Amino acid sequence: MLELPLADLLHRAQTVHRQHFDPNAVQLSTLLSIKTGGCAEDCGYCPQAARYHTGVEATPLLPLEQVLAAAKAAQARGATRFCMGAAWRSPKDRDIDQVTEMVRAVADLGLETCATLGMLRDGHAERLKDAGLDYYNHNLDTAPEFYGQVITTRDYQDRLDTLERVRNAGLNVCCGGIVGMGESRAQRAGLLAQLANMQPAPESVPINNLVQVEGTPLAGNATLDPFEFVRTIAAARITMPTSFVRLSAGREAMSDELQALCFLAGANSIFYGDQLLTTPNPQADRDRALFDRLGIRPLESH
C-alpha cells in the first residue's frame, strides 16, 4: 500500500475517511507533562531519559491545582480531550493514587481524559477506569523487528502486556508510533500492521514524526521525506478506518501545506497548545488560522 502512487493512496485514504468521519472536523487534544524527566528507560528518541544530557530538568509530580488549571485553560481554548503524561517506567501504587485524583478532577470538567504513565501493573488500569479515565496511551513506537535498535530497557511484549491490561479494564486504547527514526518503509508498514491487527484496533492512533533532541542517540538522523510521512498517515487511515489518526510530535516543524496534505490523507486529530511533553507545539492561534484557511472546524466533544 505504501508503494502506491501518492495520488492513488490519498484518494483511497480520503474515500475511507469520508465513509466514517466528517472530513472537515478535527478533534483537539491537549497534552500536559505532569511529571517530567528522570526516566530510567533508554528510549533513543526521548529527552526525558535520565541517562541522556538534553537539558530537561527532572521534576516531581505536579500538584492537583496546577493540573486542573491547565485543563481549564485547554478547555477554554477548545480542546475536548486532556492528556496527562508522566515520565515513569512504571508507576507505583502511590503514584496511581495521585493520578486518579487528577483524572477525577479533569473528568468533572466535562473533558475526555487520557493518561500515559508507562507500563501498568495488575489493577492499575482498573483503578484509572474507576476514576473516570477514558483513554490510556501506550505506543508501540515502531515495528517489532526495528524496536531493539531504539529501546533495550523494555521489550515489545512489555508494551503489548500493558495494552492488554488497558483493554481488559474497558479503557479506550491510544496507541501509535514514531516515524523518522531510521526505519525502512517496510518497517513503517510493519508498525501499522501491528496496530491494525490489534483486536480491536486502537480508538486513537498518534503518528509522531521524530523530533530530534540534541543529546539523544537519534539526534542527527536523516530527516524523513515529508511525503513519506503523508503516506504513513494515509495507510493508517486505510488500515484503521474508524480510529482517530492524530498528528502528534513533529508538527511544529511541518508547513501548513504538509499539514493540509495530512488532513487530506485522513488525519483528524491533533495535539493542540503550546507544548507537548518537552518539545514545542504550534501555537493555538496558528492552528486556528490554518483551520480557517482550510475550512476545518474543531470536533465538538462526543
Q: Which one from 174, 188, 237, 251 is the annotated catalytic residue?
A: 174
Q: Answer yes or no: 246 catalytic.
A: yes
Give, as one character, the DSSP assignment of residue 148.
T
Before 200, cis peptide (omega within 30)?
Answer: yes
In the block, cell 472546524 appears at 297
Retrieve residue 22's grid coordinates.
466528517
Tell me if 50 sits within 8 A of 58, measured CB to CB.
yes
Question: Which distant-in-sequence residues (6+ apart) come within 8 Å of 115 by Cβ?
Answer: 83, 84, 85, 86, 99, 103, 128, 133, 135, 136, 137
Retrieve residue 166's grid coordinates.
488497558
Q: Residue 227: in which H helix or E strand, if any? A: helix 226-239
Q: Which one from 12, 81, 114, 159 is the annotated catalytic residue?
A: 114
Question: Which distant-in-sequence residues (6+ apart) come within 8 Å of 212 by Cβ?
Answer: 218, 219, 220, 221
How, if at all, do strands 177-179 and 135-137 pair? unpaired
Got the DSSP string for 115-145?
EE-SSPPTTHHHHHHHHT--EEE---BS-HH
Q: Answer yes or no: 39 catalytic.
A: yes
Q: How far apart are CA 233 and CA 266, in angstroms?
A: 7
Q: How far apart are CA 52 and CA 179, in angstroms?
A: 21
Q: How far apart are CA 40 and CA 56, in angstroms?
A: 14
Q: Answer yes or no: 114 catalytic.
A: yes
Q: Which one from 12, 46, 81, 262 is the annotated catalytic residue?
A: 46
Q: Which one from 12, 81, 83, 175 is the annotated catalytic residue?
A: 83
Q: Which one from 43, 154, 167, 262 is the annotated catalytic residue?
A: 43
Tell me if 81 sits within 8 A of 30, measured CB to CB.
yes
Q: Answer yes or no: 43 catalytic.
A: yes
Tell me if 108 sits within 8 A of 151, measured CB to CB.
no
| Residue 286, Ramachandran bin (φ over 0: left; ψ between -120 and 50: alpha; else beta) | alpha
Q: Which one from 39, 175, 231, 237 is the annotated catalytic residue?
A: 39
Q: Which one from 159, 246, 251, 262 is the annotated catalytic residue?
A: 246
What are the catalytic residues?
39, 43, 46, 83, 114, 174, 246
